[in-house]
């Protein structure tokens, strides 16, 4: 049986084909049946780890990929994340019933920015429970968040039982950046996977994100990346030490907000979520 760490993408062999990091993605609302089937054929031909689609396409994708080892990934609460927790849980159950192997859910961005931790946790826990042990990835929509909010979002995703944190929907502006991936990786350590998505268009983009700590990448430019005529394997240099921290000691407890200070996020959010406490502390030394 695949270990929890491998399943989350945290532990990787020293050399892996680029394709094994990629979720081949088609989320545009006008996607046709033929385009979805082409997506599946490309994933099978190139050995992508998964195919990521909207809920309406989960059943046909799951049927086509059955027995292949390529995962069917369904998005939930997409792309706004602003529906009710019950609606997200129901959508998750439907996706699982249709054959989803993994679920990518958009966090309640407004509640996160309001620091309504209990609302965010209820929302995410409902999806995790409805997923029935299938891995859940929490989309933070990083372009709309401060660094402190990104860290809080990561911590709440972990508290809710998610398997991954993820950058963007690709529909809300911004894109996945190495800086955001590095912050998310430092925050979750080796406990969760980190998925980069949104604006990943070139092989150079993908390799930079893997170097920063990503363990999955969602993109619609997958085929171009693996047929670019360049080396298609990721060497040791692109594997990040998941337990590394910077000089400010960023983890699920802290995030740097200045050269000499950090915001400390209460680790008790899982047991006392009503008010997520954030305070300032001074970091030693003059360097960031």
pLDDT tens-digit profile of 25-73? 999 999 999 999 999 999 999 999 999 999 999 999 999 999 999 999 9
CB of 164 within 8 A of CB of 192?
Answer: yes
Structure tokens at 113: 């920015």
Domain count, the chain: 1
* Pairing label, strands 261-265, 254-258: antiparallel
Q: Tell me the average pLDDT across 278-284.
A: 30
- Residue 233 banded pLDDT, cuts 50, 70, 90: low
Q: Side-chain half-sphere of 170: how many Cα atoms within 13 Å? A: 20
Residue from 118, 119, 120 nearest 140 by CA: 120
Residue 257 lies in a domain: no
174-185 pLDDT, tens digit each: 899 999 999 999
Residue 79 lies in a domain: yes
The model's pTM? 0.81
Asked if residue 283 has pLDDT above 50, the reply is no
Residue 263 lies in a domain: no
Q: Tell me the average pLDDT across 186-203.
A: 96
Residue 115 lies in a domain: yes
| CB-based contacts of 266, cutoff 8 Å, min separation 6 | 272, 276, 277, 278
Residue 276 lies in a domain: no
Nearest 10 degrees: CA dihedral of 244, 249, 252, 253?
160
Which runs of consecutive H residues, i.e. helices, occur in 102-146? 109-113, 117-130
Residue 10 lies in a domain: yes
Residue 200 lies in a domain: yes
CATH number for the domain that contains residue 194: 3.20.20.70
Which domain does 83 fall in, by range?
4-244
pLDDT for 228: 76
Give the strands of the sheet with 278-282, arranged side by side.
254-258, 261-265, 278-282
Asked if residue 163 has pLDDT above 70, the reply is yes
Q: How far apart are CA 185 and CA 154, in angstroms?
A: 9
pLDDT for 236: 42
Q: How many CB atoms lie within 10 A of CB 20?
A: 17
107-142 burial string, b = 16+ CB within 10 Å, else e? bbbebbeeebbebbbbbbbbbbebbeebbbbbbbbb
CB of 83 within 8 A of CB of 111?
Answer: no
47-81 burial string, b = 16+ CB within 10 Å, else e? ebbbbbbbbebbbbbbebbeeeebbbbbbbbbbeb
| CB-based contacts of 2, cutoff 8 Å, min separation 6 | none
Residue 36 lies in a domain: yes
- Residue 148 banded pLDDT, cuts 50, 70, 90: very high
Q: Any idea which residues carry the catalytic annotation?
A: 104, 166, 195
Q: How far apart are CA 100 and CA 178, in angstroms?
A: 29
Longest dimension (CA), the chain: 59
pLDDT for 4: 40
Asked if residue 259 has pLDDT above 50, the reply is no
Q: Which residues pair with 25 in a beta bridge?
A: 52
């Amino acid at each position: 049986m695949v270990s929890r760490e491998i399943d989350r993408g945290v532990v990787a062999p020293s050399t892996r084909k680029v394709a094994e990091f990629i979720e081949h993605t088609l989320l545009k609302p006008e996607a046709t049946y033929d385009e979805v089937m082409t997506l599946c054929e490309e994933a099978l031909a190139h050995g992508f780890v998964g195919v990521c689609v909207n809920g309406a396409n989960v059943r046909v994708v799951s049927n086509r990929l059955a027995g292949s080892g390529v995962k069917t990934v369904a998005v939930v609460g997409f792309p706004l994340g602003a529906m009710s927790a019950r609606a997200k849980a129901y959508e998750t159950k439907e996706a699982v019933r249709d054959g989803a192997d993994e679920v990518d859910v958009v966090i309640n961005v407004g509640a996160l920015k309001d620091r309504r931790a209990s609302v965010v946790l209820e929302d995410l826990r409902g999806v995790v429970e409805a997923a029935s042990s299938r891995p859940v990835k929490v989309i933070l929509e990083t372009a709309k968040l401060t660094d402190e909010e990104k860290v809080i979002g990561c911590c709440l995703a972990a508290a809710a039982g998610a398997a991954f944190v993820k950058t963007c929907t690709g529909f809300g502006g911004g894109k996945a950046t190495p800086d955001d991936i590095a912050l998310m990786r430092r925050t979750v350590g080796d406990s969760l996977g980190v998925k980069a998505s949104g604006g990943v268009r070139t092989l150079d983009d993908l390799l930079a994100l893997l170097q920063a700590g990503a363990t999955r990448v969602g993109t619609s430019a997958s085929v171009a990346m693996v047929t670019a005529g360049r080396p298609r394997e990721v060497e040791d240099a692109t594997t990040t030490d998941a337990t590394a921290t910077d000089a400010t000691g960023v983890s699920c407890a802290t995030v740097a907000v200045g050269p000499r200070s950090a915001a400390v996020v209460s680790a008790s959010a899982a047991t006392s979520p009503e008010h997520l406490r954030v305070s300032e502390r001074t970091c030693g030394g003059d360097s960031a």
